[in-house]
Amino acid sequence: MLGGINPRVLGSSFIGLALVCGAWVLNSLRTAPTTPPEAAVYLVQENAPVRNALSTEDQNTDGIEDWKEPFLTAAPVILNTSSSSNERTGTLTEQVGINLMESMLMAESFGAAGASNEQLIKNSTEQAFLANRDRIYTSSDITVLTNPELASIRDYANAVALILSTNDVKGSKNELLLFDEAVRTGNQQLFAQITRKADMYKIYRDELLKLPVPLTLTQEHLRLINVFNVMEANIRSMTELDTDPLKTLVRLENYQDDTTELGLALNYFYTGISKFPDLFSPNDPALAFTTFGQLQQQ
C-alpha cells in the first residue's frame, strides 16, 4: 500500500470521478436553452396587373375578329426593291476611306502596339495606287501575223498612222491645262473637252486591238495599246473630281510619267518600222512617226 491507501481503491476513485463529470456535461448540454430560429422569410408576389384581352367581336360574321380585319388584304404584297439614296457607290475614295477608318479602329484596340495614324494613311495611299492599277494587254489580246509579207508591214504601219491622225482631237488645249482652268473657273464645258480627249485615247486603244500586227512589230504594238489605255484612264479621271477625288489625285500623280511613256512608245514604234526603210514612200502616213525619231536624237 502507498500511504496506507490501496492502489486499486485510488484508481477506482479516479475512474468514478471521470464518469460523473462526463455525465454532468452531457446532462448540461441536453438541458441548455437554445436560441429560437429566426422567422422564415417569405416572398410575397403582388397580384399581376389585369390584362385587357382583345375583343373577339365579329360584327360582319365572316369568321374573322374585327381587330384582324385592317391587317387583311386580297392584294399581293410587293416589297419595294428600289435602291436607297444611301447605296454605296464603290468609288476608290469611298473604299479607301472605309478601309482607313476600319484600320484606325483596329489600331486603337491594340493601344500603344497599334500602328500610328501616319502609317495607316501611308498604307491606305499605297492601297489606292494598287487598287488603281491598269490592265496590261498582252499578245493574247491581239491578232499576230506570224508569217507576214514585207508589204503587210508597210500596210500595218500606215494603218496605225491613219488611226492616230483620223481620230486626233485637233485644236484643243492640253488636257492638264483644261483641267486646271475647269477647276479654277467651274466651267463645265471644259470638262466636256477633257472627256473628248479621253475618248480619243480609248478609240486609239480599241482600234489597235482590232488591227492585225506583224510578228516583228508585236512589242511596239502592245506598248502603244497599253500607254493609250493608261492615258485614257488618267484623263477620264479628271472629270470625276466631284465623285471620286482620290482617284483623280492618284491619276494626276501618274500623269507626268505616263505622258513621258507616251512619247517613248511612239518613238519605239518609229524605231521598229525604221528597220524597213525601203518599204515606205514619201507619201506614206507612217512617215509621220519620223518626228518622234528626230525628237529622240535631239
pLDDT band at 76 (very low <50, low <70, confident <90, very high): low
How many alpha carbons lie under 13 Å from residue 72 in its C-beta half-sphere?
Answer: 8
pTM of the model: 0.63
Q: Of all residues in the chain, what percent carry a pLDDT higher than 70?
A: 61
Instruction: Check pLDDT > 50 for residue 48.
Output: yes
For residue 156, with 0-12 CB atoms within 10 Å meaning exposed, 13-18 middle and 19 or more buried, which class applies?
buried
Angle of helix 117-131 versus helix 245-273 axis, rounded to 10: 50
Pair 184, 116: CB distance under 8 Å: no
Q: What is the pLDDT of residues 215-256, one digit of tens each?
A: 999 999 999 999 999 999 999 999 999 888 888 888 898 899
3-state secondary structure of 223: helix
3-state secondary structure of 214: strand
Q: What is the pLDDT of residues 102-118, one digit of tens each?
A: 666 766 666 655 667 67
Q: Alpha-carbon torsion 214, 219, 224, 228, what sign?
A: positive
What single-letter DSSP state applies at residue 59?
T
Residue 272: which residues within 8 A CB-CB, separation 6 or more? 216, 217, 219, 220
| Alpha carbons 294 and 243: distance in angstroms, whole number | 42
3-state secondary structure of 5: strand
| Alpha carbons 47 and 153: distance in angstroms, whole number | 101
- The residue among 249 and 36 whose pLDDT is bigger is 249
